[in-house]
């Protein structure tokens, strides 16, 4: 599920979707809704909201992203 293999297209793996997500977040703090809108625009294939949430869980679980008390998401490795 995380890495692509013969049965998971690269564009559907969490690894790839995570990279897309980080590209959208960049150096800013972003709300969940704005991030989801940006995610949909930047993924060529139709990825469900469930899959998007799984991507966030993967990024959060690996310590790559975090969130503020107000619910804004940011790149843990690039703090403002």
Partner 1 sequence: MVVYSKRIMISNIINAIISTTEMKFQQTFVSFLEVVCKYNGLKFEKVQPANGDSKNDGWIPEKNIYFGMYSPNDPNISQIKSINKKLYDDLGGLCEHVYVKGEWGKEINKFYLIVNTHDKDFPADPDRMIDQTIKEIKEKYKKEFVVEVIIAKDIKHFLLDSDIELIEKISNYLDVYNIEQEFSIPEVVNFIDEYMKYLATKKIEIPSTDYSRIKVEDKIKLNNLDERHDKILNLIDASDKIDKYLEFVNSEGIDMSNYENLKNFIIQKYTHLTINYSGNELYDKLLDELIYDSMMDSRAVILEAIVVNIFIKCDIFQKE
Counting contacts by CB under 8 A, is residue 51 touching partner 1? yes
Counting contacts by CB under 8 A, is residue 3 touching partner 1? no
Per CB under 8 A, the list member of 27, 41, 44, 48 interacting with partner 1 is 48
CB of 3 to partner 1, least distance (A): 11
Only segment of 19-27, 30-38, 40-48, 59-67 that touches partner 1 (CB under 8 A): 40-48
Measured in whole angstroms, the distance separating CA 26 from the mean position of its chain's CA atoms is 11
Contact at 8 Å (CB) between 8 and 14? no
Across the strands, what pairs with 65?
75
The Cα-based distances of 11 to 7, 19, 20 in angstroms read 12, 10, 10
CB of 9 to partner 1, least distance (A): 7
Distance of alpha carbon 50 from alpha carbon 74, whole angstroms: 20
The residues of the shown chain that bind partner 1, judged by CB under 8 A, are 1, 5-9, 12-13, 45-48, 50-51, 53-54
């Amino acid at each position: 599920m995380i890495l692509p293999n013969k049965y998971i297209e690269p564009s559907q793996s969490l690894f790839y979707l995570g990279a897309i997500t980080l590209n959208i977040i960049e150096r800013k703090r972003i709300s969940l809704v704005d991030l989801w809108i940006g995610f949909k625009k930047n993924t060529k294939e139709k990825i469900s909201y469930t899959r998007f949430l799984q991507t966030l869980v993967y990024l959060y679980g690996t310590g790559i992203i975090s969130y503020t008390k107000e619910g804004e998401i940011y790149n843990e490795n690039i703090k403002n």
